[in-house]
Amino acid sequence: MSVRTACPGSCTTSSDAEYAAGVGESLQWSNDAIAYIRSRGDRYPDGVGIEPAWAQEVMDDVDLLAFEPDPKSRMGASRFIGHSRSAGRVLVVIAYRDLDGDLHGINAWPATGADIRLYEQGDDDGQDD
């Protein structure tokens, strides 16, 4: 079991590699972050509230796709794309690492468009599993 890393260009530094996400890595959520992801349906038309347990299922997905750091992030956060069995769909989870390397959840939402395509492409390293 290995995490697929998806970092176009040179987005991995030696310190990032030290903290590369592993399948089953635990996410820590503040009460404010939990309230935020659960209330997506209140903020967006047809939005879906996300449960922290669903985000943890993403981290437990053997096909987890990790962008560490996410090239789209202005704060150096990481993006994880994986399947949540309980949610019945692929989700995107945004998290940041503290100085100890622990992951703290910031946001999560149902994957769409490019994120789903990336996830569905699978491990394209040319190796047979």
Token digits for 51?
Answer: 């449960």
Tell me the sheet residues that pair with 78.
Answer: 95
Tell me the sheet residues that pair with 67.
Answer: 79
CA distance 122 to 3: 11
**How do residues 5-28 score in pLDDT, each as one tens digit?**
544 433 333 233 333 455 678 999
Q: Is 42 helix (H, G, I), strand (E, B) or coil?
A: helix
CA distance 129 to 4: 13
- The set of residues, in sequence order, having a beta carbon less than 8 Å from that of 55 and lying 6+ positions away, is 27, 29, 37, 84, 91, 93, 105, 108
**How do residues 91-127 score in pLDDT, each as one tens digit?**
999 999 999 999 999 999 999 999 999 999 875 554 4
- Please tell me the pTM assigned to this model: 0.79
Mean pLDDT for the chain overall: 82
